[in-house]
Amino acid sequence: MKGSANVLATALFLAAALRADTTETRYFSAALSPANETHAVTGAAASGQATMTLFLRRSDAGAILSGTVYFHVHYNFGSAVTVTGLHIHQGGAGVDGPIRIDSGITDTNTVAAQGEGNLFRAVEVSGGAELMVLSGILAGPAGFYVNLHTSANTGGLMRDQLKVAEQPVPLCNKCGKPLDVRGRCRSCGASPTKGPAKPPQRPGQKPGQAPARAPAAAGTPKPRQAAPRTLAAKDPDFGMFDDEAAVAKQRASRASKTVPPPVPQGKANRKPTPKPKSPSPEEVGEDEFWELVE
């Protein structure tokens, strides 16, 4: 009885664990701009599009057990900058709020950027306070904002409030424009890499030209090359893969030999069968001869 109770308890525990493994993915966006900062940012030609993806694991009761926050920022800087921070803050528009989720980019872990590019970061969330932040973002994303900091603008270069978004369309890593269904960018022509990467082009090498082999070191013996062999016609004596020259030589040798022609077996060429010769009177005697004649 006790063993049956243990088995039942184990089954109920496993069933509860299976019911707890439910997942959910939510998307949020933010159009980053220096004009959204609470302090004046002058002379900065910068813009960005942030996509925040929240991957959540919930219990059977619906509580968030853990999650992963994915930062993806496509930026455009008019000059070289050093990114020193990328966070999700809690606060409304025009308010400087505390950091709630840190991407991991800090003053000691910076990112050098210039022109167009992308920033990708993933943050695991499992603590109680951070899980409450995820619940707060789901309930009211407008109360949180994304802020990107640089060494020249430590308080923030550009920011924007979070907004609910649909599943984002994949963007080109080169220009940031949407890709088509085959992963190609119609704006800049970039396409996904197929197969192994091409070797780098050497100086003086023309486009499409095969790279020249490096010269062998002095004193290095050249590797022996096998004699070229071609597929010859099938020969009963030599098989399928003999050298054509050898096959031709052997056939010429066999053709030069004198072979007697075969004897025809037709009726016109048969020799007549000789008839039996009649005996003469001298061989059998006169009386017997006349008996044979009669």
> What pTM does this model have?
0.56
| Cα–Cα distance, 164 to 150 (Å, whole number) | 26
Any domain includes 113: yes
What is the three-class DSSP state of 6? helix
Q: What is the mean pLDDT of residues 150-155?
A: 93
- Asked whether residue 228 carries a pLDDT value surpassing 90, the answer given is no
d(CA 147, CA 157): 7
pLDDT > 80? residue 98: yes
Helix (H) or strand (E) holding 10: helix 2-20
- Is the residue at 220 inside a domain? no
Q: Is the pLDDT of residue 266 over 70?
A: no
161 located within any domain: yes
Average pLDDT over residues 185-197: 62
Is the residue at 94 inside a domain? yes
Q: Enter the DSSP assignment of 205.
A: P
Does residue 62 lie within any of the structural domains? Answer: yes
Is 158 part of a structural domain of the chain?
Answer: yes
Residue 286, domain member (yes or no): no
For residue 197, is pLDDT > 50?
Answer: no
Q: Say yes or no to pLDDT of 254 above 90.
A: no
Domain that holds residue 92: 19-165
Output the average pLDDT for the chain.
77
Q: What is the pLDDT of residue 196?
A: 40
- Return the CATH number at 23: 2.60.40
Distance of alpha carbon 138 from alpha carbon 143, whole angstroms: 10
- Residues 1 and 7: their CA atoms lie apart, in Å, by 10
Domain count, the chain: 1
| DSSP structure string for 175-234 | T-PBB-TTS-BTTT------SSPPPPPPTTPPTTPPPPPPPPPTTPPPPP-PPP---PPP
In a domain, residue 260? The reply is no
Q: Confidence band (pLDDT; 50, 70, 90) for 218? A: low
The pLDDT tens digits of the residues spanning 8-24 come to 555 555 555 555 569 99
Q: What string of DSSP letters covers 121-188? A: EEEEE-SHHHHHHHHHHHH-GGGEEEEEEESS-TT-SEEEE-EEE-SPPPB-TTT-PBB-TTS-BTTT
pLDDT band at 43 (very low <50, low <70, confident <90, very high): confident
Residue 271 has pLDDT above 70, yes or no: no
